[in-house]
Structure formats: structure tokens, C-alpha cells
Amino acid sequence: MKILVAMLALAPVITFAAATMTPFDGTWKAKLDATHFSKKPDVFDVTNGKYTCSSCVPAIAIKANGTDQAVTGHDYYDTVSVKVLNKNSLRIVRKKAGKVIYEGTNTVSADGNTLDHKFSDLSGPQEATGEFTFKRIAPGPAGSHAASGSWQYDKILAMSDSGATFKFVSFSNGLKMTSMTGQSYNARFDGKDVPLEGDPAQTTVSLQKIGPRDVEETDKRGGKTIDVYDINISADGKTMTYTDHDMVHQRTDVLTYEKQP
């Protein structure tokens, strides 16, 4: 979140021309009930003491014994631990170089059709917390844990201000973004890659101006495109639509932000 959280330290020193106000300038906060998720499900399973996530890229297969298990090919973490808390709940912790990057608890409803996910994201300098729900698309294998199966993002129930809020400031032919999690970039509308400061995965960002209210942001890691964002400001200047084309997981999510007073 990758979706909200995982979307956005001091930025590098750049000599700016005089600042120019544009429709992008201001503090923007996610409108949680206006998010539209891809219908592509997350698929994972806990059976006979093993955890698999087939929708993860690359896929994960580890022991579900509560200890850190090494995984490879993931930009933000190199170990994962999965602990069964009870028949309806799991605890998942991801770390990079021994540091907790993400921890979350999955709890399945009594009827088995809803999964509640509470999380803490520590991938940036400041923590972000939140809560999502998923709806069941398909059951897990016979005898598997209740949280096993195919799950589709449904609703965002809560998000800390740090995870939901960021700021844009215009400068001559470019934008500076600062998130409340402590990540930032300064990028001109020239398509050149600049670092996302405060990001442990060493993401780079490039911007292209499509129109007076439209910008395209391209995020890369290791020179490979991972996300393309279509950013649009409404005619009244009060709403921002952020369409995330996730190239890694092959999904598209749409987030809406409101300009703050």
C-alpha cells in the first residue's frame, strides 16, 4: 500500500527558481472511504506448520513457527516470521538487516468471510499504522488455518495521519513531495530519476507534466519500473486522484486525497 503506506530525511539540496503556486500545492490527506482497489486477490496459506504466499512477488514459502525465516528478492525485507496466535489469527513480521520493517495481525471473522488486518509500517523514518479489511474470494485447502485462502482488499478502516498525509510544494518546472512518514523527493518535470529520500529500498522517482492538473510519476528500483502513478487535480482544486499502476503485482488501485485547510 503499498498501497498508502507503501507510497511515500531531508531532500537533496537543489537551487530553485522562485516558487510558483500550482493546483498541486498544499497538504493532502487520503479519503479512506473513496479508495478503489484492484480485484486481484492476495493468496496465502498456513497448513501443517508452513506458510506460503503465492501472490507475493517473488512467492514466499517458510515455516510458520514464529522465527525469522530468510527470503530473497524483496526490496523492503529479507526475513519473514509467521506465528499462529489462535485458530483465527496470525502474526506476520518482516525485517530488513534485523530491523522490523512491517508487522501485522490477520484475524478472520466468525463466519470466515472477512479478514481484518491491523498493521504497523516502519519502512520510513516515521511509523504509520492502520487497519484494512479483506473479503474472502476462495477458501484455503482442507485443514488449513482460517486465514488461508484468496482475499480481496475491501475497505480501509483506519490510517494514522503519518500514513495518510503528504505535502506538495511547487518550484520552477517541478515538485517537492514530503510525506509525514519522513520520506521526500525533489523532482523536475524532465523525466530524470531522483532519489526518494528516507526510503530503505532506494526507490527513485521521475516526473512528467501531462497537463496543468496532471502529472505522471514513475518509480523505479535498480533501474526497473515498479509503479506508474497518474496524479490528477480536480477542476475545483479540492481533490487529488492518485491512480497507482503497480507493475510488480500487476494491479491498479485508485486513491483519493482531499486538500487540507
CATH number, domain with residue 235: 2.40.128.20
Of 161, 181, 200, the one marking the end of a domain is 161
Residues 87 and 32 placed together within one structural domain of the fold: no
The model's pTM:
0.89
Tell whether 64 and 149 lie within a shared domain.
yes
Q: What per-residue confidence (pLDDT) applies to 255? A: 97
When divided into structural domains, the chain yields a total of 2
- Whether the CB-CB separation of 134 and 153 falls below 8 Å is answered with yes
Containing 151, the helix (H) or strand (E) segment is strand 149-159
Indicate if 184 and 254 belong to the same structural domain.
yes
Last residue of a domain, one of 114, 129, 161: 161
Is residue 196 a part of any domain in this protein?
yes
Pairing of strands 60-63, 149-159: unpaired
Q: Could you state, in chain order, the average pLDDT of each consecutive group of 10 residues for the chain (261 residues)?
A: 40 38 96 96 97 98 98 97 98 97 98 98 95 98 97 97 97 96 97 97 97 97 97 98 97 98 94
Name all contacts of 67-73 with Cβ < 8 Å and 24+ positions apart: 68/93, 68/95
Q: Measured between alpha carbons, how far is 243 from 87 in angstroms, rounded to an integer?
A: 37
Same domain, 94 and 199: no
DSSP label at 36? B
User: Cis peptide before 139, with omega less than 30 degrees from 0?
Assistant: no
pLDDT of residue 2: 42
| 163 φ/ψ angles, rounded to the nearest 5 degrees | -90, -15
Structural domain includes residue 8: no
Query: Does residue 68 sit in the same domain as residue 147?
Result: yes
Residues 209 and 247 in one domain: yes
Is there a domain that residue 50 lies in?
Answer: yes
* C-alpha 168 chain-centroid distance: 18
Can you give the pLDDT at residue 21?
83
Do residue 142 and residue 65 come from a single domain?
A: yes
Does any domain span residue 203? yes
**Contact 65/83 with Cβ under 8 angstroms?**
yes
* 80 and 104 in a common domain: yes
210 and 119 belong to one structural domain: no
Tens digits of per-residue pLDDT, 144-161? 999 999 999 999 999 999
Please state, in angstroms and as integers, the Cα–Cα distance from residue 207 to each residue in 37, 53, 192, following that order: 24, 33, 7
| Residue span of the structural domain in which 94 resides | 42-161
Residue 19 lies in a domain: no
In a domain, 17, yes or no: no
Would you tell me how many other CB atoms lie within 10 Å of the CB of residue 57?
13
pLDDT score, position 9: 32
**10 assigned to some structural domain:** no
